[in-house]
Amino acid sequence: MFKNYILIFTLISFITGFSQTIVSTDSQNKKVIIEEFTGVACQYCPIGHTIVQNLIDDNPGNVFAIKIHEGGYAEGYTPDFTTQWGTAIVSQSNNGGSYPSGTINRQVISSASSNGGTSIALGWNNINNNPFITAVEQVLLQSAYVNVGVEANLNVLTRELSVHVEAYYTGNSPQSTNLLNIALLQNNTIGPQSGEGGGSEYNHTHRLVHMLTGQWGETINETSTGSFINRNYTYIIPESYNNVDAVLADLEVVAFISETQQNIISGSQATPFFDGLEYSNDASLLSIEDNLNGNCGEIASPVIVIQNLGTDPINSLSIDYSINSASSETHSWSGSLESLQSTSIELPSISYSPSDTNTINIILSDDENNDNNSDVFYFDQSSSYETSFVTFDLVTDNYASETTWEFTDSSGNILAQGGGYTNNNTYTSELEIPSADECYTFTINDSYGDGICCQYGTGSYSISDESGNVIFSGGDFSSTESTIFRVGETLGMNSIFKNDLNIFPNPSNGVFNIKTSLNNSTYKIYNLIGQHVKSGLINNGSNSIDLRNSIDGVYFMTIQTENGEKTGYKLIKN
């Protein structure tokens, strides 16, 4: 619960002077408070988030957002971002259940209202030429009769938040009483989000977690020209809200004044200043963001996470790093990292000799506290599989048209891809391995953002080697899932193929010559999307394959001997 420990209503004229420090006494236009209605299961909400963030970025210091997770797209999901305040705020907007939507200063925007001029909630579904954007621009041009200023301190040891709000009336309010609201928000919460641009690692920003002044705010009784309001609040931040960690570094405060439960006149935003830190200069090495498990090569680019545990900003760091006790590299980082903030730093690629388990040593430059400046992290190397092709098995869900996939090599070349499936069906594709001792990536996508299992059906997929052993499988993901695996010496790539089969020229204009000592071997050729293009026999001596009637591009050929040995080759027609 919050504690209101100073409550002052003061009316002081210019003649006697007054002691306000954070609010202007000049007439100003309105600041915009956007209350955005959203949810983790809302398909189009990422579009709304982008629109709101663009408005904030385009109008720094004049547009502030409060994202309210409420309704069927938010309730019952994990993590739970709902609050006890959201339902009433959304209900009084006459929203009608449309998401994404939101209010602009809780005003009725008659020219753009979606409910006959009575709704204060506007919906949107387009980044540009949007009535919501136009409405924000209109409100920013309106004059405000009250200015609002806010500042905050947060003690990291006691978790006590102190908020100081000042307001000055440059004109008379039409209401004898107004309402002061203080919203506590949290940024940078990583979690799932449905829809295009969402995924399991979506960054949720400006989330409402608490209202320090209750559901509709605290009453202001002096609302005439020259009224000066000065109030202070304290509130102990809990460890979590609905089992979602309350991260002190990610909190912000938005204060605003409304005439009633609706019609916000103006507001302001503040990021807390942190008290209780022991050092002025203290960079802390938190973790490796991607611990590189399953790394598929002899080069790695570690991504480390650094946090500033000092009171002063960090503008530069020297980072030494090495893998498997090899010679170290040094990376010089520069930027701006404020107190308690953290950042990810991708270190330049470094070569190493891989083993089953690998060690990364990270050392930061010295500061006032070197106890948290170094650490050793471990990662396992990707398993290697001996196979000349892999089999992709797909069971689609109830929305199969949302599913696409790609199979690429270590250079990012697309070796095969697929899509255009029908609901609740089974598909199998044989994906040829063009070369051994190579890393390959299989990526499956769902355009809606809910994977292929398990919300709308029981879809699944798997990748198996040529012996039928499953290399990996899945289906329960959000927008995309990628898996990297290494193919070592293929089962079929034995001395027979190495020494007794030669394809030339390659690339060619479409005619490929094959010279071999093999007898009674068969070949099959596929295009990038797995369609069968050509097949035939190869015998001892010189053979020729003609693809001149096929379009230019990359093709894959499998060759199988009479003994059942099989391998794959890449053909390039140009």
Summarised one tens digit per residue, pLDDT across range 150-176 is 999 999 999 999 999 999 999 999 999
| Spatial distance between the Cα atoms of 271 and 32, rounded to a whole number of angstroms | 17
| Spatial distance between the Cα atoms of 21 and 23, rounded to a whole number of angstroms | 6
| Spatial distance between the Cα atoms of 431 and 344, rounded to a whole number of angstroms | 36
Nearest to 207 by CA among 289, 85, 307: 85
pLDDT of residue 489: 53
Does residue 292 register a pLDDT over 80?
no
Coil, helix or strand at residue 24? coil
Q: Is the bond preceding residue 79 a cis peptide, omega within 30 degrees?
A: yes
Output the CA–CA distances (angstroms, integers) from residue 359 to 288, 330, 566, in the order listed: 12, 17, 38
pLDDT of residue 2: 35
Average pLDDT over residues 53-72: 96
Does residue 436 register a pLDDT over 80?
no
pLDDT of residue 330: 96
Q: Is the bond preceding residue 348 a cis peptide, omega within 30 degrees?
A: no
The amino acid at 537: L
Q: Give 3-state DSSP helix, strand, coil % of the chain, rounded to 5.
A: 10, 50, 45
Give 174-206 pLDDT, tens digit per residue: 999 999 999 999 999 999 998 877 888 899 999
In degrees and rounded to multiples of 5, residue 552 shows phi and psi of -65, 145
Q: Checking DSSP bridges between strand 218-220 and strand 227-236, what pairing results, if any?
A: unpaired
Nearest to 47 by CA among 35, 60, 36: 36
Tokens of 570: 């890449």
Selected residue with higher pLDDT from 192 and 379: 192
Which pLDDT band holds residue 493 (cuts at 50, 70, 90)?
Answer: very low
| Spatial distance between the Cα atoms of 150 and 167, rounded to a whole number of angstroms | 9
Q: Where are the beta strands (DSSP E) in 44-177?
A: 63-69, 101-104, 121-123, 143-144, 146-155, 160-169
Mean pLDDT over all residues of the chain?
86
| Spatial distance between the Cα atoms of 307 and 372, rounded to a whole number of angstroms | 10
Does residue 530 register a pLDDT over 70?
no
- 380's CB contacts (< 8 A; 6+ apart) are 293, 294, 356, 357, 358
| Spatial distance between the Cα atoms of 105 and 59, rounded to a whole number of angstroms | 15
Domains of the chain, start order: 2-275 (2.60.40.10), 283-380 (2.60.40.10), 384-487 (2.60.40), 495-573 (2.60.40.1930)
Does residue 494 register a pLDDT over 60?
no
Does residue 146 register a pLDDT over 60?
yes
Q: pLDDT > 90: what percent of the chain?
A: 54
Average pLDDT over residues 405-424: 92
pLDDT of residue 110: 60
pLDDT of residue 127: 58
Selected residue with higher pLDDT from 204 and 109: 204
Q: Checking DSSP bridges between strand 553-560 and strand 403-409, what pairing results, if any?
A: unpaired
pLDDT of residue 209: 98
pLDDT of residue 89: 95
Of the CA atoms within 13 Å of residue 62, those in its CB half-sphere come to 18
- 479's CB contacts (< 8 A; 6+ apart) are 196, 197, 198, 199, 200, 445, 446, 447, 449
Average pLDDT over residues 292-321: 88
Q: Is the bond preceding residue 505 a cis peptide, omega within 30 degrees?
A: yes
* pTM for this entry: 0.65
| Spatial distance between the Cα atoms of 542 and 404, rounded to a whole number of angstroms | 40
Which pLDDT band holds residue 551 (cuts at 50, 70, 90)?
Answer: confident
| Spatial distance between the Cα atoms of 338 and 315, rounded to a whole number of angstroms | 9
Q: Is the bond preceding residue 302 a cis peptide, omega within 30 degrees?
A: no
| Spatial distance between the Cα atoms of 156 and 284, rounded to a whole number of angstroms | 16
Tokens of 388: 């000349």
Give 224-278 pLDDT, tens digit per residue: 999 999 999 999 999 999 999 999 999 999 999 999 999 999 999 999 999 899 9
Does residue 487 register a pLDDT over 90?
no
pLDDT of residue 573: 84
